[in-house]
Structure formats: structure tokens, C-alpha cells
């Protein structure tokens, strides 16, 4: 979670250059103080010229869920159109992937039987059939190219604003938050398994299955992308869709939650846990100005469940839970969220994009700076 070298967005209005600088709250406070000092010094140096508030450009801080307003083609309906185009592209990509597989299954002996298993099973985590995990998560991963391509086609440049207020995925912060999530959830699962053992349940890892290491490899390779895809859609696109219409962050945090819950076929306690996860991830996205902390939470949670399921310590196919499970998982998520938020503040992770309005009112168009082309310094 190192502070990224902040890029900048540029808004050009009839030749007047104004800057968008993503900054942390602390940096913003310092800037206001320094601005006041500069006015005082200028007045002292040139007593014949009175410094007024009109000399100070107005500054607006844009939160993550409102970033759609910084896109060059912003209209109130464009993000909705992005979703429709994204669905069409997603279906097209799925057909490109699925149709050849269907043809192969018709001519290769044995594939037809396996295809029937795919269509009828609800147990996608199966050490005897690791390919079922691929069939489960690959369609989810393909949401990423569909969404990003649709966003570029409909809204123009600035696709990186789906990642964070800096216009890119802040890899340094992503790595830091991943380490924090691992620390929190290793403790959480250790406590849960320890409690189960004390309660008399058999807690014994089984490393004997021949498909174990194949499954471990697939989990480590695929699950991070599956988790990131869900975050880009549910915390990225949907939060900014709602935020493009409604200013208060509570709407962007809460309104997408039912859609996320409906995408998981769990009982009432499991659905409540998924809903809690969605709220925590969205709150983190708003508070830290990007998807990185939420992606880390999602990755670590899913990877640990599948890895522990590979050695029979948990049931990775479980779709039900209890009130105790809900409270325990919610506590772990809240602890992670509070620690991540505090750490981000201490490191100066940008929470908002800061827009400096032009000194002269004029009509014009938006020009997005090099950070959105991937040329900014990387953290």
C-alpha cells in the first residue's frame, strides 16, 4: 500500500487548462493551508494588488462513485448504455468460447457424458473433475473484457476510472491490501477451525487425492481474476452507474447489493453473509477511492475457501450457513475494512479525484490526461 505517483486528468475549456489531481484527505488539507499562505505572501509582496477569494480557483473533490462525470462523453444515460452493450459483448464472447466446445463434445468420445455432468451438477468444486471449476469461473472472468470494451466504446477514454480515482489500478496498494487480507483471514479461519475442533468436529486435512495439486494450481491461477471480475461489475460499474445519478454514496453502496446477492444461490444466512460482503466491499471502494481493497478481500476469501476445500477442511460447495457463521464472517470483514481504511489514510492513498475549476467560465470539452493512457508512474 505505497502511495502511487499521482497522475493527473486535464480539463481544457476554450484553452484554459485546469487540473484534476487525485489526492488524499491529508494532502487536500495541506493544499488549502498552503493556498492561504500563498495569498498572504502575494499580498505582502505586492501591496498595490489586493488578493481576493476570486483569485483562488474553486476545487471540487470527486468521489469514486461519481467518476462517470469525468468521462469525456458523459451523459446521464451513457452508463446505462454501457451496461447494455456490455451484455451484448459478453454474450458474443461466450458464444465464441462455447460453440467450439459444443462441437468438440459432439465428436470426441466421452465429452458428451461430461457435458451432461456440467449441465446437471450443482457441485462445481470436485477434485475428480477439476475442469468443472474452470467451467464455473471462466464465464465470470470474461465479464472483464466485455465491460472494459463496452465502456471504451460508449463513454470514450477514461476506462481506468473504473479502477480508481487515479485512472488506473494501483498495484502497490493492491499488493499491500492483499497482505492485510491474508493476515486477517488466516486468523479468522484458524479461529473457526479451532472452534470446530473444540466442539468435537473432526478437523483433519487430507492431502491424498491425486487431483489435489491440479485443483490448487487452478485456484491460484483463476480465482483472482474471477474475484476481480465481480468487483469490476458490482463495485465498479454498478456503483458508478448509481453514482452518476445520485450523489450520496449510500445509494451507490446499497442499491447494487440485491443484484449481487441474487447471483449467489445461498440460503437466508448465506445470502445475508453475501449481502454483508457486498456492503463492506462497496464501502471500502468508496473510502479508498478504488477497487483494490475490495478485490483483495474477494480474492483472499475465495482462494482460502477453495484451498481449504481442496484438503477437506471446509465444504467449498456449501450453499447454507448459520447465524454464527454470519456473525463470524461479518466480524472478519469489518476488521479488515477498518484496518484497510486506516492504513490507506496513513499512506495517503487517494480517496478522491480533485478537480480545479477554470478561473474564467467558458464552455468546452473534456480532455483526459496521460494517466488514462497508462503512461503515469506505477505504484
| Residue 80 pLDDT exceeds 80 | yes
Query: 358 lies in which domain range?
Result: 1-72+162-169+352-379
pLDDT digits (tens, 9 = 90+) for 102-113: 888 778 877 777
Number of domains in the chain: 3
Q: Which residues contact 227 (CB under 8 A, 6 or more apart)?
A: 295, 298, 299, 301, 302
User: What's this model's pTM, rounded to 2 decimal places?
Assistant: 0.80
Residue percentage of the chain with pLDDT more than 70? 79
Shared domain for 116 and 201, answered yes or no, is no
For cell 446437471, the residue is 120
How many angstroms separate the CA atoms of 201 and 199, rounded?
6
pLDDT value of position 357: 63
How many angstroms separate the CA atoms of 179 and 352, rounded?
24
Single out the residue of 351, 331, 362, 363 nearest to residue 6, CA to CA: 351
Distances (CA, A) of 306 to 37, 66, 125, 187: 56, 35, 8, 16
Shared domain for 151 and 32, answered yes or no, is no
Shared domain for 60 and 85, answered yes or no, is no
b/e 293-320 (16+ beta carbons within 10 angstroms → b): bbbbbbbbbbbbbbbbbbbbbbebeeee
Shared domain for 191 and 281, answered yes or no, is yes
Helices vs strands, H then E, count in the chain? 13, 5
Shared domain for 1 and 135, answered yes or no, is no
Shared domain for 272 and 214, answered yes or no, is yes
Distances (CA, A) of 246 to 110, 160, 228: 53, 21, 25
Shared domain for 276 and 322, answered yes or no, is yes
Shared domain for 84 and 214, answered yes or no, is no
Shared domain for 146 and 240, answered yes or no, is no
pLDDT digits (tens, 9 = 90+) for 172-219: 999 999 999 999 999 999 999 999 999 888 889 999 999 999 999 999
pLDDT digits (tens, 9 = 90+) for 257-299: 999 999 888 889 999 999 999 999 999 999 999 999 999 999 9
Sheet with strand 59-63: strands edge to edge = 59-63, 352-356, 16-23, 9-13, 365-367
Q: Please give the grid coordinates belonging to residue 117.
A: 455432468
Shared domain for 67 and 81, answered yes or no, is no
pLDDT value of position 298: 98
Shared domain for 16 and 96, answered yes or no, is no
Shared domain for 93 and 42, answered yes or no, is no
pLDDT value of position 116: 78
pLDDT value of position 326: 94
Amino acid at each position: 500500500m505505497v502511495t502511487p505517483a499521482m497522475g493527473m486528468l486535464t480539463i481544457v475549456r476554450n484553452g484554459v487548462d485546469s487540473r484534476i489531481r487525485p489526492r488524499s484527505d491529508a494532502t487536500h488539507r495541506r493544499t488549502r493551508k498552503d493556498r492561504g499562505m500563498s495569498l498572504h505572501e502575494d499580498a505582502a509582496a505586492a501591496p498595490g494588488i489586493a488578493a481576493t477569494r476570486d483569485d483562488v480557483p474553486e476545487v471540487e473533490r470527486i468521489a469514486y462513485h461519481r467518476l462517470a462525470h469525468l468521462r469525456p462523453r458523459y451523459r446521464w444515460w451513457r452508463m446505462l448504455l454501457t451496461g447494455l452493450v456490455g451484455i451484448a459483448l459478453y454474450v458474443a464472447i461466450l458464444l465464441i468460447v462455447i460453440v467450439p466446445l459444443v462441437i468438440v463434445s459432439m465428436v470426441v468420445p466421452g465429452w458428451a457424458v461430461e457435458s451432461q455432468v456440467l449441465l446437471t451438477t450443482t457441485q462445481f468444486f470436485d477434485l475428480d473433475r477439476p475442469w468443472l471449476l474452470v467451467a464455473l469461473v471462466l464465464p465470470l472472468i470474461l465479464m472483464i473484457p466485455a465491460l472494459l470494451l463496452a465502456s471504451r466504446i460508449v463513454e470514450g477514454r477514461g476506462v481506468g476510472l473504473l479502477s480508481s480515482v487515479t485512472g488506473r489500478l494501483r498495484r502497490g496498494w493492491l499488493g499491500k491490501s492483499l497482505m492485510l487480507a491474508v493476515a486477517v483471514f488466516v486468523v479468522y479461519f484458524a479461529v473457526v477451525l479451532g472452534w470446530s475442533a473444540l466442539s468435537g468436529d473432526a478437523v483433519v486435512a487430507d492431502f491424498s487425492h491425486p487431483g489435489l495439486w491440479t485443483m490448487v494450481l487452478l485456484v491460484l491461477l483463476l480465482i483472482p481474476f474471477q474475484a476481480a471480475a465481480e468487483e469490476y461489475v458490482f463495485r465498479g460499474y454498478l456503483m458508478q452507474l448509481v453514482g452518476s445519478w445520485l450523489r450520496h454514496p449510500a445509494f451507490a453502496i446499497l442499491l447494487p447489493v440485491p443484484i449481487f446477492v441474487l447471483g449467489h444461490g445461498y440460503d437466508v444466512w448465506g445470502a445475508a453473509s453475501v449481502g454483508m460482503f457486498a456492503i463492506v466491499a462497496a464501502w471500502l471502494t468508496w473510502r479508498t477511492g478504488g477497487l483494490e481493497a475490495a478485490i483483495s478481500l474477494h480474492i483472499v476469501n475465495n482462494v482460502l475457501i477453495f484451498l481449504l476445500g481442496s484438503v477437506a477442511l471446509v465444504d467449498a460447495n456449501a450453499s447454507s450457513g448459520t447465524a454464527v457463521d454470519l456473525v463470524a464472517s461479518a466480524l472478519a470483514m469489518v476488521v479488515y475494512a477498518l484496518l484497510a481504511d486506516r492504513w490507506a489514510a496513513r499512506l495517503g492513498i487517494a480517496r478522491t479525484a480533485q478537480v480545479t475549476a477554470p478561473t474564467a467560465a467558458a464552455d468546452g470539452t473534456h480532455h483526459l490526461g496521460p494517466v488514462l493512457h497508462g503512461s503515469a508512474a506505477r505504484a
